[in-house]
């Protein structure tokens, strides 16, 4: 178990760049399986989920040239995949589910017996993925495992999804890019990482309309070409560094080209008293008033709601909760996506935080807490480790976050980056 020891109450100051987005690089890697040509990615984050994918690809005979320092990765897959390779999908990462469509397209058969849970945020459904593959003509054999067969290149399909799922939209994109004709997905997810996959598939030869909207129209091609693509900066990490800098009482600048993705995210953190200045290519947190912006509608509780993009992202709610524990007013957090994403709030009491979990989706954090350092335990949820750290770093004295390892799934050199800004924080393995 990897724990974090944090000596809080020290201001962070400085400038840094965010890393590439985990939730973009992994589907982009899955898309590389759709071509036998070489694909090169830049701005590739050095994270443990990536390492699992690289190990998997090497185990199936792919040539992977990963330059950690340059943050580039070139990959070329073998013309034929073996049955054995198919059954060794990477474990305990949600993104493994996006290997299904490309493997089915390349191999024609797939036996799926894998834990594709990802974080412990709630039940991570595989149904929408399997439904999409079946709609495109995959036959499912009865039995304990998911056993799918796809006979040749599929015909285009029109699908209206029950909800806007990020990874299911990506499964749709991956299969539609090679289908015969124009496929349409209505109620598509539109997160920046979904858009990044669309742009990559266009680069490889597919035609896609509606990128960034809830209806995607994809004209597939028989052969996709190689491509050179940049993984977009991680908007979660931009917000995370700003939140940490602000609550520490310091001034932190994040340089990035994704400021157009940040307005709502910055607005929601500003509701918690964080102050920002933006300039071309950079955003700086300049202070923290701790005041919660009161709604003009007096009977409303100030709230931050997370839902599919372009709402505030569910993967940033724990970080906002981490900020709110030091605020002077009450805030309600509403996770409209996951049913298991708030249970960890019980840990906040150890820091002296008063909060009320109204139901599995809604948490009220009360203001004016008398905070104290504490030993807290993170669940297997990447962003909750960060949320607990944001709480700990604003409290004078030593805190310990148990089971903080999941942060390495998405944030490379995280502790090194914070140390360079002046944080007193270290791993205890």
User: Using CB under 6 A as the criterion, which residues of the chain lie in contact with ligand UD1 when the complex forms?
Assistant: 23, 26, 94-95, 118, 124-125, 163-168, 189, 308, 313-315, 337-338
Q: Which of 93, 98, 105, 201 binds ligand PEP (CB under 6 A)?
A: 93
* Cβ 412 vs Cβ 25: under 8 Å: no
Q: Are 233 and 22 in contact (CB under 8 A)?
A: no
383 binds, among ligand UD1, ligand PEP, none (CB under 5 to 8 A by kind): ligand PEP
Provide, rounded to whole angstroms, the least separation between the CB of residue 333 and ligand UD1: 15
Report in angstroms how near the CB of residue 103 gets to ligand PEP at its nearest: 19
**Residue 337 binds which entry of ligand PEP, ligand UD1, none, CB below 5-8 Å type-dependent:** ligand UD1
164 binds, among ligand UD1, ligand PEP, none (CB under 5 to 8 A by kind): ligand UD1
User: Which residue, judged by CB position, is nearest to ligand PEP in the bound state?
Assistant: 118
Residues 6+ apart with CB under 8 A from 28: 41, 196, 197, 200, 229, 231
Sheet holding 158-160, edge to edge: 158-160, 182-186, 215-219, 207-209
Count other C-beta atoms under 10 Å from residue 53's C-beta.
24
Segment lying near ligand PEP (by CB under 6 A), choices 92-100, 214-222, 246-254, 421-429? 92-100
- Side by side, the strands of the sheet bearing 375-377 are 375-377, 397-402, 3-8, 424-428
Angle formed by the axes of helices 127-135 and 166-176, to 10°? 20
- Taking the C-alpha atoms of residue 370 and residue 178, their distance in angstroms, rounded to an integer, is 58
Beta carbon of residue 117, minimum distance to ligand PEP (angstroms, whole number)? 7
* Phi–psi pair at 82, nearest 5 degrees: -95, 160
Residue closer to ligand PEP (CB basis): 4 or 150: 4
Whole-angstrom Cα distance, residue 190 to residue 224? 23
Cβ pair 173, 201 in contact under 8 A: yes
> Is residue 315 at the binding interface for ligand PEP, with CB under 6 A as the rule?
yes
Binding to ligand PEP by residue 118, rule CB under 6 A?
yes
Closer Cβ to ligand PEP, 77 or 236, answer by number: 236
Chain positions 3 to 32 lying near ligand PEP, rule: CB under 6 A, are 22-23
**Which residues contact ligand PEP by CB under 6 A?**
22-23, 93-95, 118-119, 121, 315, 382-383, 410
């Amino acid at each position: 178990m990897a724990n974090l020891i944090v000596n809080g109450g020290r201001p962070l100051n400085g400038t840094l760049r965010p890393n590439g987005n985990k939730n973009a690089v992994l589907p982009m890697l899955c898309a590389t399986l759709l071509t036998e040509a070489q694909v090169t990615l830049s701005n590739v984050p050095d994270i443990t989920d990536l390492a699992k994918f690289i190990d998997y690809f090497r185990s199936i005979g792919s040539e992977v040239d990963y330059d950690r320092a340059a943050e580039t990765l070139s990959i070329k897959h073998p013309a034929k995949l073996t049955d054995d390779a198919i059954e060794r999908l990477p474990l305990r990462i949600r993104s493994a589910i996006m290997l299904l469509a490309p493997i089915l397209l390349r191999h024609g058969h797939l036996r799926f017996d894998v834990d594709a849970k990802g974080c412990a945020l709630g039940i991570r459904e595989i149904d929408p993925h399997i439904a999409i593959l079946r709609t495109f003509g995959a036959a499912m054999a009865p039995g304990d495992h998911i056993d799918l067969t796809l006979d040749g290149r599929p015909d285009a399909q029109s699908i209206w999804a029950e909800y806007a799922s990020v990874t299911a939209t990506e499964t749709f994109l991956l299969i539609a890019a090679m289908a015969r004709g124009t496929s349409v997905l209505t109620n598509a997810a539109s997160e920046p990482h979904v858009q990044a996959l669309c742009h990559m598939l266009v680069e490889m030869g597919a035609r896609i309309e509606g990128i960034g909207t809830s209806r995607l129209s994809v004209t597939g091609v028989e052969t996709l070409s190689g491509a050179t693509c940049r993984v977009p900066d991680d908007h979660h990490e931009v917000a995370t560094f700003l939140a940490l800098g602000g609550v520490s009482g310091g001034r932190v600048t994040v340089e990035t080209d994704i400021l157009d993705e940040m307005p709502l995210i910055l607005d929601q953190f500003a509701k918690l008293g964080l102050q920002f200045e933006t300039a071309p290519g950079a955003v700086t947190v300049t202070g923290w008033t701790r005041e919660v912006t009161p709604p003009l509608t007096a009977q409303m509780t100030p709230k931050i709601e997370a839902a599919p993009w372009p709402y505030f992202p569910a993967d940033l709610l724990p970080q906002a909760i981490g900020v709110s524990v030091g605020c002077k007013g009450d805030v309600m957090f509403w996770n409209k996506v996951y049913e298991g994403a708030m249970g960890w709030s019980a840990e906040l009491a150890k820091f002296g935080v008063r909060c009320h979990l109204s139901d599995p989706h809604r948490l009220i954090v009360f203001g004016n807490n008398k905070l104290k350092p504490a030993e807290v335990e993170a669940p297997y949820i990447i962003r909750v480790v960060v949320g607990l750290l944001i709480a700990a770093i604003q409290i004078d004295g030593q805190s310990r976050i148990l089971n903080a390892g999941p942060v390495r799934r998405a944030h490379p050199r995280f502790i090194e980056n914070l140390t360079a800004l002046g944080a007193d924080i270290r791993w205890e393995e």
